[in-house]
Structure 1
Amino acid sequence: MFAFLLLCLVISGANAANILGVVLTPSYSHQVVFKPLWRELSLRGHQVTTITTHPIKDPKLVNLTEIDTSFILKDMEQMVKKHIKFSNKNFVEALLDGYKSMSLVADQILDYGPVKELINDQNVHFDLLIVEYLPFFGISLAFAHRFNCPSIGMLSIDGTNSIYKKVGNPTHSSLYPDSLLPYGNELSLSERVISFMYTFVIEPYMENELTEIQQKVVAKHFGGDCPPIQNLEINISMLFVNSDPIFHHNRPLVPAVVQIGGGSHRSSPKPLPKDLQLVLDKATNGFIYFSLGSNVRSEFLHANTVDMILEVFGELPYTVLWKFGEEISNKPSNVIISKWLPQEDVLRHPNIKLFITQGGLQSMDEAIYSHVPMIGIPFFGDQPYNVKKLVNKGFGLELNYRTLERKQFKETILEVINNPSYRNTIKKLAELAQDQPMTGIEKAVWWTEYVLRHKGAKHLRSPLLDIPWYQYLLIDVIGILLLSLSVTLFLIIFTIRTLVRRVKRKLFFTSEEKKSS
């Protein structure tokens, strides 16, 4: 028996791998999607090392080593607060400013002692790198060069078109507008023009600006011999995207892109705290849950906006549960304030009527699978895109925090609560999304081990990465066809003109002969 167990351990050990996970975004909502993957890979015997601002800290996961970079969270908080209260920049300026700021965040994390030690330790070896692959975190791919291992990019949100293009996935500015644009499935003419300009003018401009900054960060921490970021990007083996064809664009995907959306981060139901359970059970008219997520916080809103919201809540016949980081002295008796709430289990409570959210993908995902209709109040990033989807799919409505008015706010709340179509729609969509052969985390684990087994996935590489842009757009083919058509037309015209001249000449001579005779 002992020999059998020893043999099993040897076999499992032979299949185990050293995996490095790098998630640089200092945000819980980004990190939470990766946690189930780290957990499952470590439980399957792999040695997993992660660089994260939100470590799991589970002593049972003996194969998981976490480098805690939570020191950077305060900087992220200040960035978000500045954006909400003081930003008057246009979309492009604000986006590029945010991209540059996140590159500086990456610089600070790479400069952190334990991370520097990992980079410089010549005795450390990894078989695979899994990184959060956002436009401003191409820096992370330098770890693949440092440890000479294949890489997988992973996203806690839907991919931007620039990310899809870097793995050779087809994009289309009208059919699949970028996830940073607040557009739905069917674009108007003006939206198609803006989407086209963003894809072919604005995005390349921002990418050039950003690449220069990122390359300096890479050279600083990984040495000047590290390849250009563009080279590292096109060598990614696979891309895991937190999306699915039910709530996101139903788009063609190359084999190297795997959709892992569908609530892969959600946890099993747990009992609510007793005092909270009692309050929600007593809310016989139902309750509203209001949270702006882990990055955008309700206390960042202008004081006048907070006062208006409280006035509206005080007029409603519902209990209101509001995630708010500060005490509020003038709150109505039906409003309950808390700095932290177990969101998933709050959304599962049978008395919930409405979720007011900033439109973060993870928050929306949790509400969708609990069949809770929503009001989206987006602020930045992919939130406008997500909320537009929410409206287009028919399971909620959208409000603008900059122009939010008392009457509009109240009427929108009552419309979503009292109109059963929103809840019925979300229920049907959730059932469709859940009807899959594998869960998102099961797909992520399977494809991770696939890449490990084959030491990369170059055989799945999209041919789009290996041809010039003019060949993809068929410009050379169109040019040849136009040239052929032009030559053909020229020959036809030349032949006709030659024949006409000859006929005219023959008629002329025939006429002269008749005159002379």
Structure 2
Amino acid sequence: MMRTRGVCANVGFWAYWTLCIWSYSCVESASILMYFPISTPSHKNVFRPLAEALAEQGHQVTVVTSIPDLHVKDNVTEIHVKLSRDLLYEMGQVATSQNGDNHSFRLISVLMNIRNCIYEAHLEALQHPEIRTLLLDPNTKFDLTFVFPLFNEVGYFLAKRFRSPLVLYMPAVANSLLTTSLGYFDNPTFATTSTYEMAQSETPGLFHRLIAIIIHLGYHHMKQWAFVNTQESLLKDLNISHGTDLLQLESEASFGMYFSHFAFDSIRPTLPNTIDIGLIHCVESKNLSTELSDWLNGEDFIFVSFGSWISTDHLTLDSQSILWETLQTLPVKVVLKVGKNSDRLRSNDRILTGTWFPQQDLLGHPSCRLFISQGGMMSLQESVFHGVPILIIPFFGDQFANAQRAARQGYGRKLEIQDLSHESLRESIMDILQNGSYRDQTQQVRSLLIDDISTPLEKAVFWSEYLIRHQGAMHLNFPGKHVGCLQFFHLDIWLTMGLVISLLCYLLWKMSSWCLRKFL
């Protein structure tokens, strides 16, 4: 599938980037740090393209990660940090639990384990020989530091230690966390953290607005308690830094990059020191392997995958049976990504199973008719980018809001895991396969995604080098970033006005009462 643009758009695009390259060809090779020790394999798909693109520009990029890359590019150095994989599996168990009480209990348990995992992962990172060498050398300096601002806030301290501008690089949809840090308070009714199913409702009622505010406030308190306090304790325990306020360092960040796009996320005001980089991981599909092509044999197919940390292993045996038996009754072939322990789900002439498939190559194949997914934002963006309708079975986090949005915008459907049955699953699949409006709407939204003056990756590279050229570009920072919520929304003024009006009303009432007693 190729992008289609008019002649004028092409001329303008190339003229724009030719001017940028000519104007800034004098940019010297910079030293860049990316600190992402706690992240998932799908998160790495978001920051890897930028790391490689910056390296191709001649910059030296150091990536601290727990997920090794088998094909490290030139100018990219990876520092590998050990991270327990059991936590991701347990989070998957929480996500796929269909028992409400058990879900709540497990969620508390996972939050406690996250605290332990955060401490241990950053302890391993800060004691890694290569990082210790950097910390012990007083001359170590980076020109730019990228930090994932959830679970990895220790990176703020490293940015300060290495005298580097800080970029908050969010490989997930939690925009309000970024905007608040950078000094702007999103309206939680329309720009929630996307974990609320009714995010961006066109008709927000009292109950919806109340829940949105509670979730918004809860996120910030959970971040402080579960993530930030733990990392501040670690810095103190290692005698690296005493009294470091990581949230204060976060508020001094130079720039923010959101993993969002207006076609998927809440429409909201943005600051000049922020950009949207949604779809940064999306690429045009490549030819399938001979093995896959031979098996498909030119027939239509659907692709089923539940992401990088939820798999068929997390489904109950009943849910596995429903999924497997229903897929075998379909008039199209099925490519099914399974977990390592799903031995009962074996390939046959209609269903091809495997623990890994080239997802974007399959979605971009002209015979792909439908994508069945958990509805993570990366999978959702890839599905629409390649013009394939999506059936979402949400399990956790933003997946519920994503499913609601896909259904509302007409390029997908939602099916709750507790409603999963042979009938409901088959009806949902056949509706999308037989109703052409889903594919038409997917193509329409896709046209919004690709109609831009530059790609998300080109934007990210340009602004990264802009920050390097201008030592953090603090001139882009919002001047009211240190103003509190009370003053930002003028709540103190409204409160003062309310008190004055109340006092005047009270005095008027007292005077009226006195006059009535005096003259009647």
Q: Normalised by the size of structure 1, how large is the TM-score?
A: 0.86
Shift of 1:225: 3.2
Structure 2 spans left out of the alignment, 5+ residues:
1-23
Q: Deviations over 1:393-450 (max 9, x none)?
A: 2111112224422211111111111111111111101101211122111111111112
Query: Which residue matches 2:3?
Result: none
Aligned AA (1:472): F
Question: What amino acid is the match of 2:361?
Answer: D
Query: Which one of 472, 476, 499 corresponds to residue 460 of structure 1?
Result: 476
Kept in 2: contact 1:48–1:63 (CA 8 A): yes
Listed as ranges, the matches of 1:169-208 within 5 Å are 169-186=184-201, 187-200=204-217, 203-204=220-221, 207-208=224-225
Q: Is 1:90 aligned with 2:104?
A: yes
1:246-265 to structure 2, matched below 5 A, reads 246-261=263-278, 263-265=279-281
1:121-174 deviations in whole A, cap 9, x for unaligned?
Answer: 44432121111122x322221111221211001111222423321111221222
Aligned partners of 2:477, 2:328: CA distance in 1, in Å? Answer: 57
Q: Which moved more, 1:467-476 or 1:353-362?
A: 467-476
Deviation at 1:93, TM superposition (A): 3.3
Paired residue for 1:312?
326
Amino acid at match of 1:31: K
**1:41–1:445 Cα contact (<8 Å) kept:** yes
Instruction: Provide the C-alpha distance between the structure 1 equivalents of 2:187 and 2:33, rounded to a whole number of angstroms.
Output: 33
Percent identity of the aligned residues? 27
* 2:311 maps to which of 297, 305, 316: 297
In 2, are the aligned partners of 1:170 and 1:252 still within 8 Å (CA)?
Answer: no
CA distance in structure 2 between the partners assigned to 1:353 and 1:309 by the alignment: 18
Contact map agreement 1:52 1:68 (CA 8 A) in 2: yes
Please state if 1:419 is matched with 2:419. Answer: no
Q: TM-score, normalised by structure 2?
A: 0.85
The separation in 1 between residues aligned to 2:92 and 2:482, in whole angstroms, is: 43
Taking the aligned partners of 1:475 and 1:38, their CA distance within structure 2 comes to: 43
Matches of 2:367 and 2:221 in 1, distance apart?
A: 48
Note closer, same or farther for the CA distance 1:191–1:331 as it changes in structure 2 (3 Å cut): farther
Cα distance in structure 2, aligned partners of 1:221 and 1:391: 49
- Write the deviation string for residues 64-104 of structure 1: whole angstroms up to 9, x where unpaired: 212133x4263444333443466824297377447525523
Cα deviation digits, residues 256-299 of structure 1 (max 9, x gap) = 221111x221234322110201222332xx21100111111122
Rounded Cα–Cα distance in structure 1 between residues aligned with 2:403 and 2:508 = 58
**In 1: Cα distance, 2:223 partner to 2:66 partner:** 27
Three-state SS of the structure 2 residue aligned to 1:320 is: strand
Runs of 5+ in structure 1 lacking a partner?
A: 1-10, 506-517
Give 1:40's match in structure 2, choosing from 37, 40, 53.
53
**2:163 pairs with 139, 145, 148, which one?**
148
- Return the match for 2:489 from 473, 496, 504: 473
What pairs up with 1:211-360 in 2 under 5 angstroms? 211-221=228-238, 223-225=240-242, 227-261=244-278, 263-283=279-299, 286-326=300-340, 327-328=343-344, 333-360=349-376
- Asked whether the 8 Å contact 2:83–2:117 carries over to 1, the reply is no
Partner Cα distance (1:357, 1:83) in 2: 17
CA contact (8 A) 2:91 2:110 kept: no
Q: Which piece of structure 1 moves more, 320-329 or 39-48?
A: 320-329
Q: What aligned pairs does 1:97-116 form with structure 2 within 5 A after superposition?
A: 97=112, 99-100=114-115, 103-104=118-119, 105-116=121-132
| 2:11 aligned residue | none
1:210 corresponds to which of 223, 227, 234: 227
- How far 1:330 sits from its partner (Å)? 6.2
Deviation at 1:241, TM superposition (A): 0.4
Alpha-carbon distance, 1:62 to partner: 3.0
Higher mean displacement: 409-418 or 162-171: 162-171
Query: Which protein is bigger by CA-based radius of gyration?
Result: 1
